[in-house]
A and B are shown apart, each in its own frame.
Chain A
């Protein structure tokens, strides 16, 4: 019984390790490539040349702020939404409070549309 537990623990450790350190060299989302084009480096977001953890939102707000430490974004647009042909929605002003930029906008992996966990927005590209 003890050996079985030990083996299962070792296996779990081998499984976890790569997941915890799945950082990828370079940048692969649209925003990631844009950052690369503008010579944004590891230090600018992670405060170190050898990052081990994800950057905090304060890093994004260094450049993408409205001057009050907040980002309101691109404004409301019309999207096909949940069976309606169009609805005016601003994805940056929603029923979440202080949703971090990084929930949608990834840099080293592809960006995701967080709204689409529950909703179905047709054609709402996320850079």
Chain B
């Protein structure tokens, strides 16, 4: 099947064609603003190259989020002036709102703070055997629709990931240089670096300032719509819609797609993750389950890449999940606390669903698998002095009633709506395992946050619902972030991808930024050696 000629699988484009919205909008804006519009404005699939270009650049970066901005500053430092176009009205994208967790080894901070057993090789070993994320890179993917462990990553060529691990110390230096601060490291979790709140927006502001001062350009409300290739299949430019709704054509030698993931693209989800489009569907959201994700993460770069026969990687990787309260304005019990405290996470029947150390995505996936519609956090008074309880403000949540408090476990269960006998049985077994075995016999939880739930008062949160908030797959690239063509498996000349758009790299915060930086470096090299 020639993918280029068959766009029947793209309902959005069909909608545009049938109603003629694309043509009408162009025609109306054209006549009323008094400028001529070329006939090929309505021609969204194929068609001739523009006869006139509105601008010419060496490098166009689509997306002014985390990876695009990090790429941009690397580019200017190598003498390449990027033209960065962002479709939203603000920059920084989803990365600017991230909680700031990055993982790796051999950083300056680990050395300064005397952390042990945290080399890059050790981190890579954890990724390979699955203790870093949750699914080993080496293992064949579990074919279950709702794998009990799987939310991880399976890349055809892991060299790019390897390079991100190797360059982790450089990423930490970069973030420190641009104004990030980090919480003190914890020897119990020596690979985990947590940027202090406010760090990422500050870093991205500083980076954007330097990009502009060095002659790069950042425009907002400008959305790329189509990639132009010459007759040899080489990138020559990109079409975009600017802030006033006008179509512009930009000539470029190198094009980097850093346009994020496809969380809000139902067509791509249906095509590549069909179970999760129907039976396994949970809301795409972040802060609360009834609300939707703020930005339109519509996988624009992936869609444009598909139009020029790009290959995709890891498209059936699971979403990242978390749990969230139902309504806007509900206070959030942050699921990150699961790995930083002795809390357990239970269904309405009072049953646990996972080893809570494996993080909120596993807990949420298992909650979905159990058939429960929502879950609860449960803990005792000892847990109130844990890192998680402190970092995520549990005392305030108890005060405003988001976390129910009671003198006995039974009362706490009843207040929250959990089956009290079920919860009692769960906690009794949990405590018994602690005394007799030193390990949880149901899910294998052990370590510093495996503690008895025994000291009153007892705490139970309000209901929290599963939401999906991040995608993993995207355009397939080689280790130099060059996007591959799907039949020849060779790089499409001039075409690169970074961040969540790059399916060969992970969508984790650290990797997205590092991938952007590396991509800019390779582009600068390729421009210099005329390898584009």
Measured CB to CB, the residues of A under 8 A from B are 5, 8-9, 12-13, 16-17, 20-21, 52-53, 82-85, 93-100, 102-103, 116-120
A80 → B minimal CB distance (Å): 9
A120 with B328: CB separation less than 8 A: yes
Distance of A8 Cα from B19 Cα, bound (Å): 6
Between-chain CB contacts (< 8 Å), 26 pairs? A9-B20, A9-B23, A12-B20, A12-B21, A13-B28, A16-B28, A20-B29, A53-B244, A82-B329, A83-B397, A83-B400, A83-B402, A85-B400, A95-B92, A95-B97, A96-B92, A96-B201, A97-B92, A97-B201, A97-B204, A97-B205, A99-B89, A116-B328, A118-B294, A119-B287, A120-B328
Interface membership of B83, Cβ < 8 A = no
Distance of A120 Cα from B291 Cα, bound (Å): 12
B92 with A9: CB separation less than 8 A: no
A118 with B291: CB separation less than 8 A: yes
The residues of B that contact A94 with a CB separation of less than 8 Å are 201
The residues of A that contact B96 with a CB separation of less than 8 Å are 95-97
Distance of A5 Cα from B29 Cα, bound (Å): 20
B330 with A95: CB separation less than 8 A: no
The residues of B that contact A118 with a CB separation of less than 8 Å are 286-288, 291, 294, 328
B208 with A98: CB separation less than 8 A: yes
Closest residue of chain B to A69 (Cβ to Cβ) is B209
Closest residue of chain A to B285 (Cβ to Cβ) is A118
Closest residue of chain B to A99 (Cβ to Cβ) is B90
Distance of A96 Cα from B96 Cα, bound (Å): 6
B445 → A minimal CB distance (Å): 29
Select B332's contact among A9, A82, A96, beta carbons within 8 Å.
Answer: A82
Interface membership of B91, Cβ < 8 A = yes
- Nearest first, the 7 closest Cβ-Cβ pairs linking A and B are A120-B329, A83-B331, A97-B92, A99-B90, A9-B20, A96-B90, A95-B97
Closest residue of chain A to B329 (Cβ to Cβ) is A120
A20 with B204: CB separation less than 8 A: no
B24 with A12: CB separation less than 8 A: yes
Select B329's contact among A5, A9, A83, A97, beta carbons within 8 Å.
Answer: A83
The residues of B that contact A5 with a CB separation of less than 8 Å are 18-20
Closest residue of chain A to B34 (Cβ to Cβ) is A52
The residues of A that contact B21 with a CB separation of less than 8 Å are 12
Interface size bucket, B side? Answer: 35 or more
Distance of A67 Cα from B95 Cα, bound (Å): 28
Distance of A20 Cα from B32 Cα, bound (Å): 11
A122 → B minimal CB distance (Å): 9
Interface membership of B25, Cβ < 8 A = yes
Closest residue of chain A to B204 (Cβ to Cβ) is A97
The residues of A that contact B288 with a CB separation of less than 8 Å are 118
A98 with B24: CB separation less than 8 A: no
Query: Which one of A12, A97, A102, A103 has the greatest number of beta carbons of chain B within 10 Å?
Result: A97
B287 with A13: CB separation less than 8 A: no
Interface membership of B36, Cβ < 8 A = no
Closest residue of chain A to B69 (Cβ to Cβ) is A97
Distance of A93 Cα from B201 Cα, bound (Å): 9
Interface membership of B39, Cβ < 8 A = no
The residues of B that contact A82 with a CB separation of less than 8 Å are 329-332
Interface membership of B33, Cβ < 8 A = yes
Distance of A118 Cα from B291 Cα, bound (Å): 7
A52 with B33: CB separation less than 8 A: yes
Given contacts A20-B28, A96-B90, A120-B329, 15 further A-B contacts (CB under 8 A): A9-B20, A9-B23, A12-B21, A82-B331, A84-B331, A93-B198, A95-B97, A97-B90, A98-B90, A98-B205, A100-B220, A103-B90, A118-B287, A119-B329, A120-B328
Closest residue of chain B to A20 (Cβ to Cβ) is B28
Select A9's contact among B19, B32, B331, beta carbons within 8 Å.
Answer: B19
Select B89's contact among A8, A85, A100, beta carbons within 8 Å.
Answer: A100
A124 → B minimal CB distance (Å): 12
Select A117's contact among B32, B97, B205, B294, beta carbons within 8 Å.
Answer: B294
Contact status of A103 and B89, CB under 8 A, knowing A82-B332, A97-B208, A119-B329: yes
Distance of A118 Cα from B28 Cα, bound (Å): 34
B33 → A minimal CB distance (Å): 7
The residues of A that contact B23 with a CB separation of less than 8 Å are 9
Distance of A98 Cα from B69 Cα, bound (Å): 13
The residues of B that contact A16 with a CB separation of less than 8 Å are 24-25, 28
Closest residue of chain A to B325 (Cβ to Cβ) is A83
Question: Which B residues, 140 to 166, have Cβ-Cβ distances below 8 Å to chain A?
Answer: none
The residues of B that contact A119 with a CB separation of less than 8 Å are 287, 328-329
Distance of A12 Cα from B19 Cα, bound (Å): 8
Interface membership of B372, Cβ < 8 A = no
How does the 8 Å CB contact mask read for B23-59 relative to A, with 1 for contact and 0 for none?
Answer: 1110011001100000000000000000000000000
A97 with B291: CB separation less than 8 A: no
A100 with B331: CB separation less than 8 A: no
